[in-house]
Structure 1
Amino acid sequence: MNVVLVGLGRIGKLVARRLLLQDDPGLNWVGAVEKTRDPELFSYLLNYDSTYGKLDRRVEHTTDSLTVQGSSDVPLFDDLALAIEETSPDLVVDCSGSQRSAEILLSLDRTRSTRHLFAQALDVVKRDNDSKVWVYGINDSDFERRKIPRFIINPGCLNNCLIPLISCLNEQHRITKGSFVSVHSITNTQPGLDKAQRSPRWSRASKSNLVPAAHDSMGLVAHFFPELKGKLVGRTVRAPVDHTSYVTCNFEIKERTDTDSVLRCLTSTKIIPTVFGVDQEPLVSSDYLTDSRSCVVDGTSIRVVDGSTVLVSAWYNNEHAFACRMVDIANQISRAS
Structure 2
Amino acid sequence: MLINDIASPELAAYLFQYDSVFGPWPGSAVVENDVLHIDGHAIPMATSADLAELDLCDIDVLFECTGSDAAAANARCCIGKGVAQVIVSGPASWADSTLILGANADCFRGERIVSNGSCTTNALAPLLRLVDELFGVIGAQMTTVHCYTGSQPSVDQPRGDFARSRAAALSMVPTTTSAHRLLKDVLPHLAGLVEARAIRVPTASVSAIDLTVAVRNSRTEREMSEDLKRAVTSSAIIGWTDKPLVSVDLRARPESLVLCGTEISLARGGLLRLFGWYDNEWAFAARMLDMACYLRTKRDGGSDAVA
TM-score normalized with structure 2 length: 0.89
How far apart are the structure 2 equivalents of 1:136 and 1:247?
17
Residues 138 and 271, structure 1, Cα contact 8 Å, conserved in 2: no
Aligned mate of 1:222, from 172, 184, 189: 184
SS at 2:41's partner residue?
A: coil
Asked if residue 117 in structure 1 is aligned to residue 87 in structure 2, the reply is yes
Following superposition, the deviation at residue 83 of structure 1 comes to 5.7
* Equivalent residue number for residue 318 of structure 1: 280
CA offsets, 1:259-289, max 9 Å, x none? 1122012111168532112211111001001
* Equivalent residue number for residue 62 of structure 2: 92
Q: Name structure 2 gaps, 5 residues minimum.
A: 301-307
How far apart are the structure 2 equivalents of 1:80 and 1:301?
49
How far apart are the structure 1 equivalents of 2:60 and 2:47?
17
* Equivalent residue number for residue 133 of structure 1: 98
* Equivalent residue number for residue 128 of structure 1: none
Following superposition, the deviation at residue 242 of structure 1 comes to 0.9
* Equivalent residue number for residue 64 of structure 1: 34
How far apart are the structure 2 equivalents of 1:195 and 1:272?
46
Asked if residue 200 in structure 1 is aligned to residue 162 in structure 2, the reply is yes
SS at 2:42's partner residue?
A: coil
Give the fraction of aligned pairs with identical amino acids, expressed as a percent: 24
Residues 327 and 271 (structure 1), Cα distance of their counterparts in 2 relative to 1, 3 Å cut: farther
Residues 164 and 271, structure 1, Cα contact 8 Å, conserved in 2: no
Residues 139 and 124 (structure 1), Cα distance of their counterparts in 2 relative to 1, 3 Å cut: closer
How far apart are the structure 1 equivalents of 2:286 and 2:206?
14
SS at 2:211's partner residue?
A: strand
Residues 31 and 225 (structure 1), Cα distance of their counterparts in 2 relative to 1, 3 Å cut: closer
Query: How do residues 293-332 of structure 1 correspond to structure 2 at under 5 angstroms?
Result: 293-332=255-294
How far apart are the structure 2 equivalents of 1:64 and 1:84?
14
Letter in 2 for 1:118: V
Letter in 2 for 1:160: N
Letter in 1 for 2:26: D
The number of equivalent residue pairs is 299
Higher relative contact order (CA 8 A, sep 6+): 1
Following superposition, the deviation at residue 167 of structure 1 comes to 1.3
How far apart are the structure 2 equivalents of 1:163 and 1:182?
13
How far apart are the structure 2 equivalents of 1:58 and 1:82?
32
* Equivalent residue number for residue 305 of structure 2: none
TM-score normalized with structure 1 length: 0.82
* Equivalent residue number for residue 228 of structure 2: 266
Asked if residue 31 in structure 1 is aligned to residue 2 in structure 2, the reply is yes
Deviating above 6 A after TM superposition, structure 1's stretches of 4 or more consecutive aligned residues are none
How far apart are the structure 2 equivalents of 1:289 and 1:33?
27
* Equivalent residue number for residue 43 of structure 1: 13
Aligned mate of 1:187, from 134, 149, 170: 149
* Equivalent residue number for residue 17 of structure 1: none
How far apart are the structure 1 equivalents of 2:79 and 2:257?
37
Q: Name structure 1 gaps, 5 residues minimum.
A: 1-29, 126-130
Residues 43 and 60, structure 1, Cα contact 8 Å, conserved in 2: yes
SS at 1:268's partner residue?
A: helix
Following superposition, the deviation at residue 199 of structure 1 comes to 2.0
Moved more, 96-105 or 38-47: 96-105
Residues 122 and 163 (structure 1), Cα distance of their counterparts in 2 relative to 1, 3 Å cut: same
Residues 83 and 43 (structure 1), Cα distance of their counterparts in 2 relative to 1, 3 Å cut: farther
Aligned mate of 1:101, from 71, 82, 85: 71
